[in-house]
Amino acid sequence: MKTINNPEKATWSDILQRPTQTVNDIEATVTQIFEDVQRNGDQAVAKYTQLFDGAELKTNIVTVEEIETASAKVSKPLKEAIQQAKSNIEAFHTAQKTEKVSVQTTEGVNCWQEKRAIQKVGIYIPAGTAPLFSTVLMLAVPAQIAGCKEIVLCSPPNKEGKIANEILYAAQLCGVTKIIKVGGIQAIAGLTFGTASIPQVYKIFGPGNQFVTVAKQLSTKYGVAIDMPAGPSELLVVADDTANASYVASDLLSQAEHGADSQVILVSTSQKLIDAVAEEIQLQLKALPRQDIAQQAIDNSKSILVETDAIALDLINQYGPEHFIVCTDNNDFYVDGIENAGSVFIGNYTPESAGDYASGTNHTLPTNGFSKAYSGVNLDSFTKAITFQNITKQGLLNIGNTIELMAEAEGLQAHKNAVTIRLNDLK
């Protein structure tokens, strides 16, 4: 990691820049595949599955028998771990349910708001070097709690035409209604337009590579919502001499192993701590199976030395990290002052991995600075808020003239007339 000492504020934007990617060629590819899937449906999907995943499938729908066979191959200890994680995720997301909000704004004018589940949602689960069955829990559990009627899961098959056993086990455990063996751009296109085998959905969730990310963004042009803009995973740790250097190093590496384009940043008021963490990173790297990937991410990451906690907090809020770990003598200062972060992990014994798997919070979070305006996935991500109003005769008499005056001032005579015709009957 490159160490930067007391950088001037004017340089922060350059220092905190995310890994950049050229998307022009990606957009052209995504658009081409979208148009093909829109025209040719499953035929196009099968073509790209064979091209990109090397799998030639008779059907891309996962059967009940396949799920049962896969589930039987998952070890009992892992099943118990998945079930415990599911229980914690359920507890945290169930607690997010809100009651109907009702108020009489004026005598006779009754307004209220109720939540309704999004009927059809699509969940994208990457496979590749790390089949993310934990993401099945993070997305399917709140979808089920919210009451979504259709939960469609897409995940790329391997060359044998199979999806990871753990993904299939987690999917059936969490109420997924349909599982499709399809990945990449063609999966997002299928969920966007619908095909004979892939149901069309109203909102798409889940992480993916840069092709999937651009595909999700393109799907919004066709009226499909997405969870959030996403990019490479990222972690920022603020730590001082009270932190355990080996713990900090392990957290930085846990994010670095996601991918070569992951970004990890250490901010500290202590050069001693920065040096100790650098040593620990090199020691721990040697034991990682994904050492090469983690090393590339670490090479592109930074340690930033600052003079005070106040400067550190200002810098962190400007960055807006996806994951934010606080290990200092002044944790409350950071917890109370953080404004831009996807998820916050406090103290020496709260590793970011806990949020990734089993503490109960959701790990689908805004990256690339989008935490300045976006929340991570939560129960409300799977619902819409619908407002209702019921106005009595007296209520319309109380606010009718106000509506008439405002409508007339805006030049919308029909709006005014809709009130006037009623008021005339009440007089």
User: Residue 150's Cα: distance from chain center in Å?
Assistant: 19
Per-residue b or e along 182-212, where b marks 16 or more CB atoms closer than 10 Å to that residue's CB: bbbbbbbbbbbbbbebbebbbbbbbbbbbbb
* Residue 182 vs residues 20, 53, 157, 240: alpha-carbon distances, Å: 27, 9, 6, 46
Annotated binding residue 244? no
Question: Checking phi first, is residue 63 left (phi over 0); if not, alpha (psi -120 to 50) or beta?
Answer: beta
Sign of torsion over alpha carbons 246, 252, 254, 260: negative
Which residue(s) pair with 155 in the sheet?
A: 181
**Catalytic residue check, 363:** no
DSSP string computed for 357-406: HTSSS------TTGGGT-PPP-GGGGEEEEEEEEE-HHHHHHHHHHHHHH
Annotated active-site residue in 93, 234, 323, 352: 323
Question: Checking phi first, is residue 41 left (phi over 0); if not, alpha (psi -120 to 50) or beta?
Answer: left
Annotated binding residue 93? no
Mode of pairing for the β-strands spanning 109-117 and 101-106 = antiparallel
Annotated active-site residue in 322, 363, 404, 408: 322
Residues ≥6 apart with Cβ < 8 Å to 51: none
User: Residue 251's Cα: distance from chain center in Å?
Assistant: 20
CA distance 232 to 113: 36
DSSP alpha helices (H): ranges in 264-392? 271-285, 291-299, 309-319, 331-337, 352-357
Annotated binding residue 96? no
Annotated binding residue 25? no
Q: What are phi and psi of 345, to 5 degrees?
A: -120, 125
Annotated binding residue 300? no
Annotated binding residue 233? yes
Which residue(s) pair with 228 in the sheet?
A: none
**Catalytic residue check, 68:** no
Annotated binding residue 368? no
Residue 354 burial class via C-beta count within 10 angstroms: exposed 0-12, middle 13-18, buried 19 and up: middle
Tokens, residue 247: 């713990």
* Residue listed under structure tokens 């846990």: 254
Annotated binding residue 415? yes
Annotated binding residue 408? no
In this structure, are residues 112 and 388 in contact, taking their beta carbons and an 8 Å threshold? yes
Residues forming the annotated binding site for Zn(2+)?
Answer: 255, 258, 356, 415
| Binding-site residues | 124, 186, 209, 233, 255, 258, 323, 356, 410, 415
Binding site as annotated, residues for NAD(+): 124, 186, 209
Which residues are catalytically annotated?
322-323
Q: Which residues are annotated as a binding site for substrate?
A: 233, 255, 258, 323, 356, 410, 415
